């Protein structure tokens, strides 16, 4: 009896043990091998479109001529084109650095107030001016732009014969405290006095880049503000020997990003003759900076707007913090949209030079961000004005241009390609259906050579994804 019980107990234990071991081993195997579906909560999120604000565009005012004593003054008034709804106001800023006072006009802020609860009004403005002095010639057109707390100017030069004047206009209600950073071909430049510059509200200040960063061929300038914000522009003029070589008013390029697009870079058919300089800035070049600490690998692709042959994509490893110029001399005359993709954020712009009479004129083509579906387009007065559109997406985009008289022009932009279409100088257009397109306006004619990018409106008022947890 007792024996039988013991046998039963022992065999029970053996069965328990074998079962347990099998169960444990099975569980271990399952845990190690079997993939189970993950139950993930929906993260609550809400996309909020900020309330539309009053729209302001700042026109940087007349071109300046630097005197021997480094002071600067204006010599003529720019032509301003407005594409703004009725009721827009224009207010002049004070320009204490302009020795000519308000004789030839001042930096002007165009304000268009938004009705309550409505979308932001579509506002655009552009200005252009020709210079024909003995030391300053050429044509410069630029868009009147929005203030920013952080802008990158990829333009200018402080080499011999090159003058770069940095204009900082503060139309906001608060004084702006500005920190400037200068990068050159040797890396970041220690610039005494570049920090803590105060531009008072309603004031426009002009600084010579050479006073901060002298003898730099390829500067890139970062303008950061706290308090108020400024619209920064750079007036870049060239004198080769004793021959003036053109002027350009360059606006900030698109902020650092891993993709940059320069739509419609015009390679002119004729280049000015140059006298064997060590550095020939009349050759078209792409200026690049990797702002961070890590080197970038950048792939540059070209799309021809004229349908001609395009060069193979270029692949560059670019050191961080040092400004590089990549010559565009192997591009045939025509216009090209240049796309760059990088593994770390970069800033870029391109410069090309055209012959104009005895000398030449040059233009800066900045990178532009994709524009919104609807916008106003102001074409500055000038000869040979053309609109360049580039579509980086995978599907064709049909853009409609509506003139002031209501005439509509349809422009089909093929996927991954660019088109160019003539627009009338000094005219305002309404653009629709352009979401995702990069745009630029260029001027090429007997009067000179210039270009400006069309940046999306209200970059700091795009819809925000808010996570309430």
Partner 1 sequence: MSPRVTAILVVHDGTSPTGTAGLQGTLDALARQSRKPDAVIAVACDAPASVTLTLERAGVDRIVTSGERLKFGQALAAGVRVIEQPDGPDEFLWLLAQDTPPDPDALEKLLGALEIAPSVAIAGPKIKDAADGVTIVSLGESVTPFGTTVALVENELDQGQHDNVSDVLGVAPAGLLVRHAVWEHLDGFDPALGSADDALDFCTRARLAGHRVTVVPSATVFSGGSGIAGAARSGRPAARRKRARQTRGAQLYRRLVYAPTAIIWLHWLSLVPLGILRGIARIIGKQPDLVGPEIAAAFRVAFSPMRIARARKNLRDSKAVGWSSLAALRIPFAEVRRRRRLRRESGAVVYTVERSELRFFTGGGAWLVLASALIGSALFFRLLAASAIEGGTILPLSSAVGDLWSNIGYGWRDIGLGFTGAADPFAAVVAVLGTLTFWNPSYSLVLVTLLALPLATLGAWFAATRLTEASGYRLVAAVLWTVAPTFLSALSAGHLSGILIHLLLPWLFYSGCVAARSWGSAAVASLILAATLAVAPTLAPALLVLWLIALVLSGRHLARVVWLVLPSAVLFAPLVWQQGVVGRNWLGLLADPGLPLLTARPTGWDLLQGLPAGNPAWASIADTLGLSALPASLLVAILLAPLAVMALVALFLPGSARAAFLVLTALLGLATAVGSTHLLISVTGSQAASAWPGSALSLYWLGLVGAAVVGFDSLRRSAALPALVIGILALVVAAPMATSLATGGAITASNGRTLPAYVAAAASVDPSLRTLVLTPQPDGGVAARLVGGVGRTLDTQSTLLTTTPDITDNDEKVAVLAANLVSQGGLDPTALLSEYRVRFVLLTPPAPSLGEDVTAPADGMTARAATSLDSNASLAHVGPTDRGTLWRFEGDIAQAGVGPRDPLASTLVLVSLALVFGFALLLAVPTAASRRAAESRPRVIGRRGHEQAPRLTRAERAELKADAEAEKAIELELAAESESIDKAEAVATAADAAAPATEPTGDNERPALVPSATVESENNDGR
Interface ranges with partner 1 (CB under 8 A)? 9, 12-14, 16-17, 20-21, 23-24, 27-28, 30-34, 36-46, 48-54, 114, 120, 148-150, 172-174, 226-229, 255, 257-258, 345, 458, 460-469
Identity of the residue, 22 or 332, whose beta carbon is nearer to partner 1 in the bound complex: 22
Query: What's the per-residue H, E or C state across 168-190?
Result: EEECCCCCEEEEEEEEECCEEEC
Identity of the residue, 291 or 448, whose beta carbon is nearer to partner 1 in the bound complex: 291
Minimum CB distance to partner 1, residue 454 (Å): 19
Minimum CB distance to partner 1, residue 314 (Å): 23
Identity of the residue, 54 or 102, whose beta carbon is nearer to partner 1 in the bound complex: 54
Q: Which has the closest alpha carbon to 353: 439, 253, 240? A: 240
Minimum CB distance to partner 1, residue 178 (Å): 13
Distance (Å, rounded) from C-alpha 440 to C-alpha 452?
6
Distance (Å, rounded) from C-alpha 260 to C-alpha 420?
19
Minimum CB distance to partner 1, residue 233 (Å): 19
Minimum CB distance to partner 1, residue 217 (Å): 29
Minimum CB distance to partner 1, residue 194 (Å): 20
How many alpha carbons lie under 13 Å from residue 200 in its C-beta half-sphere?
6
Minimum CB distance to partner 1, residue 164 (Å): 25
Sorted by sequence, the CB contacts under 8 Å of residue 128 that are 6+ apart come out as 78, 79, 81, 139, 140, 141, 142, 380, 381, 382, 443, 450
Query: Coil, strand or helix: which one is 226?
Result: strand
DSSP one-letter string for 404-437 = TT--EEEEEE-TTEEEEEE--TT-EEEEES-TT-
Q: Tell me which DSSP letter residue 2 carries.
A: H
Q: What are phi and psi of 51, to 5 degrees?
A: -60, 135
Q: Which two tokens stand for residue 97?
A: 């650095």
**Pair 108, 61: CB distance under 8 Å:** yes
Distance (Å, rounded) from C-alpha 169 to C-alpha 107?
8
Identity of the residue, 343 or 398, whose beta carbon is nearer to partner 1 in the bound complex: 343
Degrees, nearest 5: CA angle 420-451-305: 25
Identity of the residue, 278 or 465, whose beta carbon is nearer to partner 1 in the bound complex: 465
Residue for token pair 């706290």: 226
Identity of the residue, 306 or 458, whose beta carbon is nearer to partner 1 in the bound complex: 458
Residue for token pair 């712009």: 349
Identity of the residue, 38 or 70, whose beta carbon is nearer to partner 1 in the bound complex: 38
Separation in Å, CA 288 to CA 136, 351, 405, 407: 27, 11, 41, 40
End-to-end Cα spacing for the chain: 69
Distance (Å, rounded) from C-alpha 91 to C-alpha 89?
6
Burial, 177: exposed, middle or buried (Cβ in 10 Å; 0-12, 13-18, 19+)?
middle
Minimum CB distance to partner 1, residue 2 (Å): 13
Minimum CB distance to partner 1, residue 457 (Å): 11
**Pair 401, 419: CB distance under 8 Å:** no
Identity of the residue, 8 or 21, whose beta carbon is nearer to partner 1 in the bound complex: 21
Minimum CB distance to partner 1, residue 23 (Å): 7
DSSP one-letter string for 271-299 = -------SS-TTS-EEEEE--SSS-EEEE
Identity of the residue, 107 or 256, whose beta carbon is nearer to partner 1 in the bound complex: 256
Minimum CB distance to partner 1, residue 166 (Å): 20
Minimum CB distance to partner 1, residue 10 (Å): 9
Q: What are phi and psi of 74, to 5 degrees?
A: -95, 160
């Amino acid at each position: 009896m007792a024996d039988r019980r013991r046998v039963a107990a022992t065999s029970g234990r053996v069965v328990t043990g074998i079962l347990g071991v099998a169960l444990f081993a099975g569980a271990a195997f399952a845990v190690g091998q079997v993939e189970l579906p993950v139950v993930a909560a929906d993260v609550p999120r809400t996309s909020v479109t900020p309330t539309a604000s009053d729209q302001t565009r700042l026109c940087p005012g007349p071109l300046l001529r630097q005197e021997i004593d480094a002071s600067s003054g204006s010599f003529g008034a720019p032509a301003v084109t407005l594409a703004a709804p009725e009721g827009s106001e224009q207010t002049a800023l004070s320009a204490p650095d302009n020795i000519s006072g308000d004789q030839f006009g001042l930096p002007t802020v165009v304000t268009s107030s938004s009705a309550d609860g409505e979308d932001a009004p579509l506002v655009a403005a552009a200005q252009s001016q020709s210079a024909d002095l003995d030391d300053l010639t050429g044509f410069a057109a630029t868009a009147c732009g929005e203030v920013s707390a952080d802008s990158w100017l990829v333009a200018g030069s402080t080499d011999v014969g090159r003058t770069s004047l940095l204009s900082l206009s503060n139309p906001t209600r608060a004084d702006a405290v500005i920190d400037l950073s200068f990068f050159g071909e040797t890396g970041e430049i220690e610039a005494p006095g570049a920090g803590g510059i105060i531009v008072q509200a309603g004031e426009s200040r002009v600084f010579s880049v050479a006073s901060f960063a002298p003898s730099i061929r390829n500067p890139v300038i970062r303008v950061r503000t706290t308090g108020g914000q400024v619209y920064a522009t750079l007036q870049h003029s060239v004198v080769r020997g004793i021959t003036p070589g053109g002027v350009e008013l360059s606006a900030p390029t698109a902020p650092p990003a891993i993709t940059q697009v320069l739509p419609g870079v015009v390679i002119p058919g004729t280049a000015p003759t140059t006298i064997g300089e060590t550095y020939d800035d009349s050759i078209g070049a792409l200026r690049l900076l990797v702002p961070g600490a890590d080197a970038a690998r950048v792939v540059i692709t070209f799309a021809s707007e004229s349908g001609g042959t395009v060069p193979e994509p270029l692949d560059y490893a670019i050191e961080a913090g040092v400004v590089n110029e990549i010559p565009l001399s192997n591009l045939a005359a025509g216009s090209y949209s240049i796309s760059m993709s990088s593994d770390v954020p970069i800033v870029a712009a391109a410069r090309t030079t055209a012959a104009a009479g005895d000398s030449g004129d040059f233009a800066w083509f900045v990178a532009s961000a994709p524009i919104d579906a609807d916008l106003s387009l102001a074409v500055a007065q000038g000869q040979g004005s053309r609109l360049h559109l580039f579509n980086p997406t995978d599907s064709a985009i049909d853009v409609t241009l509506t003139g002031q008289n209501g005439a509509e022009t349809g422009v089909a932009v093929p996927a991954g390609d660019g088109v160019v279409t003539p627009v009338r100088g000094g005219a305002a257009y309404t653009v629709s259906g352009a979401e995702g397109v990069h745009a630029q306006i260029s001027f090429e004619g007997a009067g000179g050579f210039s270009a400006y990018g069309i940046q999306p409106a209200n970059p700091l008022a795009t819809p925000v994804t808010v996570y309430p947890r």
